[in-house]
């Protein structure tokens, strides 16, 4: 998504990769506040997904516009 003046912009994102059999799932949590975390493996990726959800409620960049994000 390209940022336009006064238009929507990406503030945070969660990328989940769940490939096929015998491969390692991964997750990446990124936020414009400086957060950039990556996890590999089913348990660690699941934990990062939960942490990303929690971060969305506490990040000052997301808390004000939580409904829009």
Residue 20 lies in a domain: yes
Query: What is the reported pLDDT for 35?
Result: 94
Pairing of strands 26-31, 12-17: antiparallel
| Residue 25: inside a domain | yes
6 belongs to a structural domain: no
Structure confidence at residue 54 (pLDDT): 93
Give the whole-angstrom CA distance, residue 42 versus residue 51. Answer: 14
Q: How many domains does the chain have?
A: 1
| Tokens read off for 56 | 């969305």
| 12 vs 1: CA distance, rounded Å | 12
- Strands (E) located in 1-69: 12-17, 26-31, 36-40
Residue 52 located in a structural domain: yes
Task: State mean pLDDT over 1-29.
Answer: 83
Full residue range of the structural domain in which residue 33 is found: 12-63
Report pLDDT for 53. Answer: 93
Residue 68 in domain: no
Residue at 5 is within a domain:
no
Q: Quick one: tokens of 41?
A: 């493996």
Q: How crowded is residue 32: how many other Cβ atoms within 10 Å of its Cβ?
A: 13
Domain-embedded: residue 4: no
Confidence grade of residue 9 (pLDDT, cut at 50, 70, 90):
confident
Residue 68 has a pLDDT of 45
Q: What are the tens digits of pLDDT across the range 31-53?
A: 999 999 999 999 999 999 999 99
């Amino acid at each position: 998504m390209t940022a336009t003046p006064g238009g929507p912009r990406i503030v945070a994102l969660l990328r989940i990769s769940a490939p096929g059999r015998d491969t390692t799932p991964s997750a990446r949590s990124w936020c414009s506040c400086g957060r950039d975390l990556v996890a590999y493996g089913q348990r660690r990726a699941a934990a990062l997904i939960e942490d990303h959800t929690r971060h969305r409620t506490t990040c000052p960049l997301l808390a004000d516009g939580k409904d829009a994000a």
